[in-house]
């Protein structure tokens, strides 16, 4: 006992033999307790603890994270094992989960490839997927506002499925698959992640291992199926550009690939699709919560969008002119970080840091919850204060406002060699989605149908997985005007019809050699727009209103019609 609590060791709570400090670290909202310990024990912004033999160094100050995870990245960029996944680190060559891999050859090559695709995500073509899906989401919110949490997740999933396999129809399964993996890898998931020895029970006595085998095999089979489907469509000339198609085409042209084969390829791409879902769901859900609780900021964003975009839906070209929108997004991510514990790194060598011995295999936890609640950098840290990014005098204020605030580089995206690869994609998707919300709706608390009282939107209820999102709640999406409502629905109807025609034209082009010869390269943009040009000229809203009125007059003037077809409305 004296040895493990040696006063010359790093500071931290008292450790008990074998268990360390597992007994009073709650699984639920673990980050709150870790921050409490940081406030009590941390010296110089870090402290140590342990759990069932695993050593942890918890960092609560950004400067220490910078020192240990960026400057000493060479030794501190491995990952700890996640007990309830088979070979989570790919030590035995499973090559499956890039973000969880140890620092090995599979990680190095998969990170390089993922980086290439995700930086290409800034291309205009990829932005189209976001515009398209945000329009669909707005229409879904108008038609079925009570289903908003599901449609929000589905939108994030559809974006990733479009980018990865050009098929938004895969979104429901992809979300389910992402949720399964997220639960399995989180401390708040199976008990075998905390009481790790249970994982080693014999197969027949081990429900956790059997369940994981099933989940794992289904996921891998689905990823492989996606790859093979894309390849099949490519052979028929029916595959439009997406990450999988690009990878297959490039490696076929180069006659070589840095990946080992189809299995690894299906995993890199499958994992990319999965990792971009719940990471974006969190901030987007909390943005809704923030807007409901802070109508004054909602009004400011709406005013900015109305003035700068002059009645149109905002696009990414407008982003430099929308600092208030960007500030509200960034403040949401600061106020409610969705990976509050951070993602652990593992040390690869013994080290001495600030005079303390840190043994090889120590898990370094960059506690994002603590970084983002540092009152020196973020005065009034518990409250939603977007002005901290907009007004000179606040420690975080930065100019020019056409560029700042930006979420890129936030501590929430991690550190050093393992820093998140999806920062641009996250920023773009949030600007498009939150901009569309400001354009379309007044976000409000929902009212009880009987009493008329406002239903509360809780601030502190969430799951406790590695990536969190708010628990189910209710709120109202009130279209900003009847005209805006019609416009949003019309925009989506036209987009959807256009997309359907483009897809059909593409497949048609593949079947029709003359078109192929004429069309040359058939990217979605160069598909002959024959059908699209035949689209009826879009009707002005005034004309639509006039037609509605005429129809009403007509229905009323023909009593039988009115009676017989009681359901007829404009």
Closest CB to ligand HEM among 112 and 176? 112
Is 338 a binding residue for ligand HEM by CB under 6 A? The answer is yes
Contacts of 4 (CB under 8 A, 6+ apart): 15, 17, 50
Closest CB to ligand HEM among 104 and 196? 104
CA 570/CA 561 separation, integer angstroms: 13
Is 272 a binding residue for ligand HEM by CB under 6 A? The answer is yes
| Among 317-325, 338-346, 385-393, 560-568, the segment contacting ligand HEM (CB under 6 A) | 338-346
The answer to whether residues 153 and 283 touch, using CB atoms and an 8 Å cutoff, is no
Smallest distance from ligand HEM to CB 46, Å: 16
Is 275 a binding residue for ligand HEM by CB under 6 A? The answer is yes
Smallest distance from ligand HEM to CB 305, Å: 22
3 state SS for 128-178: HHHHHHHHHHHHHHHHCHHHHHHHHHHHHHHHHHHHHHCCHHHHHHHHHHH
Pick the binder of ligand HEM from 21, 48, 83, 111 (CB under 6 A).
111
Smallest distance from ligand HEM to CB 128, Å: 17
Is 420 a binding residue for ligand HEM by CB under 6 A? The answer is yes
Q: What is the CA radius of gyration of the chain?
A: 26
How many angstroms separate the Cα of 394 from the Cα of each of 57, 386, 436, 485?
31, 11, 29, 38
Tokens at 524, concatenated: 């979605």
Residue 216: its H or E element: helix 207-235
DSSP SS3 for 53: coil
Smallest distance from ligand HEM to CB 544, Å: 38
92 is in an annotated binding site: no
Closest CB to ligand HEM among 327 and 339? 339
CA 436/CA 443 separation, integer angstroms: 12
CA 456 remoteness from chain centre: 25
* One character per residue 89-108, x = contact with ligand HEM (rule: CB under 6 A): ---------xx---------
Q: Burial, 315: exposed, middle or buried (Cβ in 10 Å; 0-12, 13-18, 19+)?
A: middle
Smallest distance from ligand HEM to CB 96, Å: 13
CA angle 238, 239, 244 (to 5 degrees): 160
Is 343 a binding residue for ligand HEM by CB under 6 A? The answer is yes
Closest CB to ligand HEM among 331 and 487? 331
Is 130 a binding residue for ligand HEM by CB under 6 A? The answer is no
Closest CB to ligand HEM among 55 and 279? 279
Is 426 a binding residue for ligand HEM by CB under 6 A? The answer is yes
CA 327/CA 204 separation, integer angstroms: 53
**Within 10 A of 445 (CB to CB), how many other CB atoms are there?**
16
Pick the binder of ligand HEM from 188, 421, 432, 436 (CB under 6 A).
421
Tokens at 156, concatenated: 């994030």
The b/e string for 546-566 (b: 16+ C-beta within 10 A; e otherwise) is eeeeeeeeeeeeeeeeeeeee
Is 289 a binding residue for ligand HEM by CB under 6 A? The answer is no
Is 434 a binding residue for ligand HEM by CB under 6 A? The answer is no
Smallest distance from ligand HEM to CB 284, Å: 9
| Among 52-60, 131-139, 420-428, 446-454, the segment contacting ligand HEM (CB under 6 A) | 420-428
For residue 97, give the nearest of 325, 279, 269 by alpha carbon.
269
Closest CB to ligand HEM among 304 and 346? 346
Pick the binder of ligand HEM from 95, 289, 339, 488 (CB under 6 A).
339
CA 32/CA 45 separation, integer angstroms: 16
For residue 243, give the nearest of 312, 162, 174, 171 by alpha carbon.
162
Closest CB to ligand HEM among 291 and 488? 291
Pick the binder of ligand HEM from 180, 189, 340, 422 (CB under 6 A).
422
Is 413 a binding residue for ligand HEM by CB under 6 A? The answer is yes
Is 51 a binding residue for ligand HEM by CB under 6 A? The answer is no
How many angstroms separate the Cα of 11 from the Cα of each of 59, 146, 306, 361, 367?
12, 49, 53, 18, 16
- DSSP class of 71: I
Closest CB to ligand HEM among 15 and 462? 462
Strand partners, 49: 56
DSSP SS3 for 524: coil
Size, binding site for ligand HEM by CB under 6 A: 27
* One character per residue 496-535, x = contact with ligand HEM (rule: CB under 6 A): ----------------------------------------
Closest CB to ligand HEM among 10 and 282? 282
Closest CB to ligand HEM among 271 and 440? 271
Is 276 a binding residue for ligand HEM by CB under 6 A? The answer is yes
Tokens at 567, concatenated: 């359901």
Q: Which residues are annotated as a binding site?
A: 420
Binding site for ligand HEM (CB under 6 A): 98-99, 111, 114, 118, 272, 275-276, 279-280, 283, 338-339, 342-343, 345, 412-415, 418-422, 425-426
Q: Which residues are annotated as a binding site for heme?
A: 420
């Amino acid at each position: 006992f004296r040895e493990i609590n040696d006063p010359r060791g790093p500071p931290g709570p008292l450790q008990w033999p074998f268990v360390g400090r597992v007994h009073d670290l709650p699984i639920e909202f673990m980050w709150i307790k870790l921050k409490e310990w940081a406030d009590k024990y941390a010296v110089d912004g870090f402290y140590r603890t342990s759990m069932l033999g695993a050593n942890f160094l918890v960092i609560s100050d950004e400067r220490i994270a910078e020192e240990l995870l960026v400057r000493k990245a060479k030794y501190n960029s491995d990952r700890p094992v996640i007990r309830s996944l088979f070979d989570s680190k790919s030590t035995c060559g499973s090559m499956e989960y890039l973000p969880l891999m140890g620092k090995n050859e599979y990680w190095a090559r998969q990170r390089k490839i993922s980086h290439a695709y995700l930086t290409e995500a800034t291309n205009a073509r990829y932005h189209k997927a976001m515009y398209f899906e945000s329009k669909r989401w707005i229409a879904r919110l108008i038609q079925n506002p009570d289903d908003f949490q599901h449609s929000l997740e589905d939108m994030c999933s559809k974006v990733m499925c479009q980018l990865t396999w050009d098929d938004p129809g895969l979104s429901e399964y992809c979300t389910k698959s992402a949720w399964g993996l997220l639960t399995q890898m989180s401390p708040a998931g199976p008990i075998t992640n905390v009481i790790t020895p249970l994982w080693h029970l014999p197969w027949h006595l081990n429900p956790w291992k059997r369940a994981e085998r099933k989940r794992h095999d289904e996921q891998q089979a689905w990823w492989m199926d996606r790859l093979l489907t894309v390849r099949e469509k490519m052979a028929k000339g029916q595959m439009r550009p997406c990450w999988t198609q690009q990878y297959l085409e490039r490696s076929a042209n180069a006659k070589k690939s840095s990946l080992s084969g189809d299995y690894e390829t299906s995993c890199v791409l499958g994992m990319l699709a999965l990792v971009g879902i719940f990471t974006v769901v969190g901030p987007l859900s909390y943005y809704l919560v923030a807007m409901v609780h802070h109508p004054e900021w909602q009004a400011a964003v709406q005013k900015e969008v109305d003035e700068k975009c002059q009645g149109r839906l905002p696009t990414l070209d407008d982003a430099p002119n929308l600092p208030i929108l960007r500030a509200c997004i960034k403040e949401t991510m600061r106020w409610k970080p969705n990976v509050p514990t951070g993602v652990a790194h593992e040390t690869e060598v013994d080290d001495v840091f600030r005079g303390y011995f840190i043994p090889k295999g120590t898990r370094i936890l960059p506690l994002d919850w603590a970084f983002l609640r540092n009152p020196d950098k973020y005065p009034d840290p518990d409250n939603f204060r977007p002005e901290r990014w907009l007004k000179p005098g606040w420690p975080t204020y930065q100019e020019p406002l056409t560029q700042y605030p930006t979420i890129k580089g936030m501590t929430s995206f991690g550190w050093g060699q393992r820093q998140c690869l999806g920062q641009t994609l996250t920023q773009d998707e949030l600007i498009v989605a939150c901009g569309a919300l400001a354009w379309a709706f007044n976000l409000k608390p929902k009212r009880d149908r009987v009493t008329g009282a406002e239903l509360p939107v809780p601030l502190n209820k969430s799951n406790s997985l590695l990536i969190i999102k708010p628990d189910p709640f209710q709120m109202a999406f009130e279209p900003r005007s009847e005209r805006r409502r019609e416009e949003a629905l019309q925009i989506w109807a036209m987009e959807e019809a256009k997309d359907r025609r483009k897809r059909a034209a593409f497949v048609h082009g593949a079947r029709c050699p003359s078109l192929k010869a004429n069309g040359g390269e058939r990217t979605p943009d160069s598909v002959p727009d024959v059908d699209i040009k035949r689209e009826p000229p879009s009707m002005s809203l005034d004309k639509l209103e006039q037609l509605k009125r005429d129809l009403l007059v007509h229905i009323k003037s023909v009593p039988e019609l009115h009676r017989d077809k009681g359901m007829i409305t404009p």
